[in-house]
Amino acid sequence: MFRFASTKNLAIDLGNNNTLLTDQSALLFSQPSYMVVNELNNKVEAVGDQAYSMLEKMHSNLKPIKPLKGGVISDGESAKKMLKEMVSKIQKPSLFPKGFNYLISGVPYDTTPVEKRALRDALDQFSSRNTFLVHEPLAAALGLGLNIQEPEGKLVVDIGGGITEVVIISLSGIAAFQSTRTAGDTLDEEIQDYFRRTYNFSVGLKTAEHVKKEIGCVLSSIASKEEFFIAKGKDLMEGIPVSRKVSQSELTFVLEKPFQKIEECIRQSLEVCPPELASDIYRSGIYVTGGNAKLKGIKERLTKTFQLPVHIDLQPLLSVSKGISQILGAPQKHKAVLV
């Protein structure tokens, strides 16, 4: 989906898997962070939904590109091109294009100066008068409706596509932090690997992700043997297209190891948390966002592991963009979080 921007401000959530563009009041664009380039003339053939639908299906002249890896830009030039194409879709065509007044983009907290530079380079092409970055977990907390300015500590877990970030927020800052590159993409790769190792059955990453979204579950006691997905792929011995049935219980077993790593990351953040903030979190609990917060059983599983209240975001794909959009609406109020 996309709509034209009506204002001169723009918020960007350039995610590992999805890119969302917002102004201070509405979501304007939300599509996968992919691009297809024609290698013969270096032209961008497709971005977003269209590029995603072409993945793993194209011929040799067309090259699929995912400019982000592990939640950060891994291919600066492609990220720049992809953003340009995406932003052009929400701008009304004009003979005299004006720059943005405020341009604010999310960035993971765990980013190196070089990765931040790559993002700034990609943003500079829009010649905005005020360009800022905001750490994604802080934006997510705002998007979740939390008051991040008060001293009471809050623990936010963002399980995105490329990175899981766990932060303890107090007084508009990050008091403790842990991250792991074990996130959505890892879960998809684990499913793909499992099929290959166990059944000599090869599926694409899109199919693996589809299986996870449909029946993925992280708590064995509620996983059902009756709930299943029929995945289509290729038999590696025979070399022919086949389909295979996978049950929810089987999938829960596959997701166990990577999910334990995500839990370990939460545990470490609690370990380094100052005692006063720990007592706040004992009361307020854990807030979970990012697309993988939709996994079945996640609330019960984390409650059981940590013996704390767990709050799952009902719109986990939108939290970061909702947060940056709020900041756009009152940049002065939120200047403590602008980088």
Ligand X SMILES: Nc1ncnc2c1ncn2[C@@H]1O[C@H](COP(=O)(O)OP(=O)(O)OP(=O)(O)O)[C@@H](O)[C@H]1O
Q: Footprint of ligand X on this chain (CB under 6 A)? A: 15-18, 71, 160-163, 183-184, 209, 212-213, 216, 290-292, 294-295, 317
Nearest distance from C-beta of residue 255 to ligand X, angstroms: 10
Nearest distance from C-beta of residue 186 to ligand X, angstroms: 9
By beta-carbon proximity to Mg ion, the closer residue of 216 and 316 is: 316
How many whole angstroms separate alpha carbon 160 and alpha carbon 256? 17
By beta-carbon proximity to ligand X, the closer residue of 70 and 233 is: 70
Pair 115, 124: CB distance under 8 Å:
no
Residue 48 binds which one of ligand X, Mg ion, none, with CB within 5 to 8 A depending on kind? Answer: none
137 binds Mg ion (CB under 5 A): no
Pair 1, 49: CB distance under 8 Å:
no
160 binds Mg ion (CB under 5 A): yes
108 binds Mg ion (CB under 5 A): no
- Select from 21-29, 160-168, 189-197, 224-232 the region that touches Mg ion (CB under 5 A): 160-168
Rounded to the nearest 10°, the torsion over CA 85, 91, 92, 98 is -110
Pair 170, 153: CB distance under 8 Å:
yes
Token pair 């029946």 is found at 215
By beta-carbon proximity to ligand X, the closer residue of 195 and 280 is: 195
How many whole angstroms separate alpha carbon 66 and alpha carbon 18? 10
Nearest distance from C-beta of residue 71 to ligand X, angstroms: 4
By beta-carbon proximity to Mg ion, the closer residue of 203 and 298 is: 298
Report the half-sphere exposure of 159 (CA within 13 A, side-chain side).
Answer: 25
- What residues numbered 12-31 form the site for Mg ion, per CB under 5 A? 15
Tokens of 79: 């990220």
Nearest distance from C-beta of residue 16 to ligand X, angstroms: 3
CA 223, 208, 256, 272 torsion: positive or negative? negative
Report the relative pairing of strands 72-73 and 68-69 from DSSP bridges: antiparallel
Nearest distance from C-beta of residue 320 to Mg ion, angstroms: 5
Residue of minimal Cβ distance to Mg ion? 160
CA 168 and chain centroid, separation:
19
Q: What does the binding site for Mg ion look like in residue numbers (CB under 5 A)?
A: 15, 160
